[in-house]
């Protein structure tokens, strides 16, 4: 297949098309994903997350520039569960693309999915596999907000950065949402603002207090023993970006050293498989429900009160096997 070959040759337009297919759920994408899979595993995948307004995009732009200075190729996928109000994804995308429009070694795409409400989970992982197989040195996954998405990103990324801004209540958010356990590096951005030093202090204190829990969590991922770093940045002025880059490179090195360990490789493959299995299962379940008005019949039974949804769900899952 031509598209496969073009994607493997890091053809930007072919990559963009395949990603669009994945986003739209085009069936052909899956056949290509199967063949692409063996070509991945070389990129360093960095997840960047944090609340809106923390300055993630500007920070990512700074990182792109630094990685380009090091002659590394960079792909960025911004996962934006945007509401119809924001339209931020598309707009931001265009502005950011412009700066790197003439640079073939930078690839930026936004991706509006947040998992279909019908129950399918996000296909961000597939997009990351594509970028990995394309041969980009650095793949950055940027996500908005704090929640389920972030946990998924951490499972996908090799290095996870949480971006915070002082005085936004982010500190409390951090404890509540379990962000302390997922971050490998914290960037306290907008650190020329009042309260930045306090945010840094509080974070370090919380990390110290939670040391054992964090290390326990980290043991299950990689590298074991890594303690999250806290870095101050002012992304609009480029301040602290070198420190951030150093922290990222340190983590990448320690990741590469430690994570060749077979136990971690196994855990990673297992997680990857479970994610794909879950999505395949959903897709099949959905096809069954759509087939011959199955779902409609089920809802009619619920309306008439002749059965309950738990019993009907069990029957449908059983019938799925004969389908």
**Residues 192-221 contacting its own copies, CB under 8 A:** 206, 209-210, 213
| Among 27, 71, 194, 321, contact with its own copies (rule: CB under 8 A) | 321
Give min distance, CB of 105 to its own copies, in A.
Answer: 28
Q: Can the peptide bond before residue 224 be classed as cis, meaning omega within 30 degrees of 0?
A: no
Q: Where are the beta strands (DSSP E) in the chain?
A: 44-50, 74-79, 106-111, 138-144, 159-164, 185-188, 229-232
Helix-then-strand count for the chain, H and E: 15, 7
Binding piece for its own copies, criterion CB under 8 A, among 2-10, 66-74, 169-177, 239-247: 169-177
Give min distance, CB of 126 to its own copies, in A.
Answer: 9
| Contacts (CB under 8 A) with its own copies, residues 3-62 | 30, 33-35, 37-38, 51-53
Task: Decide if residue 176 touches its own copies (CB under 8 A).
Answer: yes
Kindly report the length of the chain: 323
Concatenate the DSSP letters of all residues of 191-235 into one string: TTSTTHHHHHHHHHHHHHHTHHHHHHHHHHSSSTT---EEEE-BT
| Contacts (CB under 8 A) with its own copies, residues 224-253 | none
Partnered with residue 164 across adjacent β-strands are: 188
Largest alpha-carbon pair distance within the chain? 68
Task: Decide if residue 82 touches its own copies (CB under 8 A).
Answer: yes
Give whichever of 138 and 221 is closer to its own copies, judged by the CB atom.
221
| Contacts (CB under 8 A) with its own copies, residues 138-157 | 144-149, 151
Give min distance, CB of 235 to its own copies, in A.
Answer: 17
Cα–Cα distance, 246 to 146 (Å, whole number)? 25
| Among 3, 173, 195, 245, contact with its own copies (rule: CB under 8 A) | 173
| Among 1, 25, 253, 273, contact with its own copies (rule: CB under 8 A) | 273
Give whichever of 83 and 98 is closer to its own copies, judged by the CB atom.
83
Number of residues located near its own copies, criterion CB under 8 A: 80
| Among 181, 200, 241, 251, contact with its own copies (rule: CB under 8 A) | 181
Give whichever of 101 and 290 is closer to its own copies, judged by the CB atom.
290
| Among 277, 290, 293, 297, contact with its own copies (rule: CB under 8 A) | 277
Give min distance, CB of 217 to its own copies, in A.
Answer: 8
| Contacts (CB under 8 A) with its own copies, residues 101-120 | 114-115, 117-119
Task: Decide if residue 91 touches its own copies (CB under 8 A).
Answer: no
Query: How many other CB atoms sit within 10 Å of the CB of residue 33?
Result: 19
The structure tokens listed for 297 are 């019949």
Tell me which DSSP letter residue 121 carries.
P
Give whichever of 25 and 169 is closer to its own copies, judged by the CB atom.
169
Give whichever of 75 and 125 is closer to its own copies, judged by the CB atom.
125
The structure tokens listed for 224 are 């074991």
86, 154, 76, 143: which is closest to 115 by C-alpha?
Answer: 143
Q: Which residues does 105 contact at the CB level (< 8 Å), separation at least 6?
A: 68, 73, 74
Crossing angle of helices 28-36 and 12-24, in 10° steps, is 120
Task: Decide if residue 265 touches its own copies (CB under 8 A).
Answer: yes
| Among 81, 92, 195, 238, contact with its own copies (rule: CB under 8 A) | 81
């Amino acid at each position: 297949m031509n598209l496969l070959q073009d994607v493997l040759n890091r053809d930007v337009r072919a990559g963009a098309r395949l990603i669009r297919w994945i986003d739209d759920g085009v069936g052909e994408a899956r056949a290509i994903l199967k063949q692409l899979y063996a070509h991945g595993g070389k990129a360093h995948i960095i997840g960047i997350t944090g609340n809106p307004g923390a300055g993630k995009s500007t920070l990512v732009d700074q990182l792109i520039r630094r990685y380009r200075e090091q002659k590394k190729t960079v792909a960025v996928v911004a996962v934006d569960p945007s509401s119809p109000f924001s339209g931020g994804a598309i707009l931001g995308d265009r502005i950011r693309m412009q700066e790197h429009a003439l640079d073939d070694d930078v690839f930026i795409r936004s991706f509006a999915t947040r998992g279909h409400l019908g129950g399918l989970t996000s296909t961000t992982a597939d997009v990351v596999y594509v970028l990995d197989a394309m041969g980009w040195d650095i793949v950055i996954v940027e996500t908005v907000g704090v929640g389920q998405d972030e946990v998924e990103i951490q499972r996908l990324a090799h290095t996870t950065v949480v971006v915070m801004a002082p005085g936004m209540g982010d500190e409390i958010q951090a404890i509540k949402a379990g962000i302390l356990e997922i971050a490998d590096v914290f960037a306290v951005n907008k650190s020329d603002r009042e309260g930045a030093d306090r945010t840094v202090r509080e974070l370090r204190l919380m990390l110290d207090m939670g040391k054992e829990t964090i290390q326990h969590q980290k043991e299950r991922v990689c590298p074991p023993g890594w303690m999250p770093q806290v870095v101050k940045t002012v992304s609009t002025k480029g301040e602290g970006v070198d420190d951030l880059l150093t922290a990222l490179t340190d983590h990448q090195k320690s990741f590469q050293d430690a994570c060749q360990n077979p136990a971690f490789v196994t855990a990673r493959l297992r997680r990857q498989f479970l994610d794909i299995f879950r999505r395949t299962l959903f897709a099949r379940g959905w096809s069954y429900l759509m087939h011959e008005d199955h779902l409609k019949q089920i809802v009619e039974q619920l309306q008439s009160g002749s059965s309950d949804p738990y019993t009907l769900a069990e029957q449908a899952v059983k019938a799925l096997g004969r389908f």
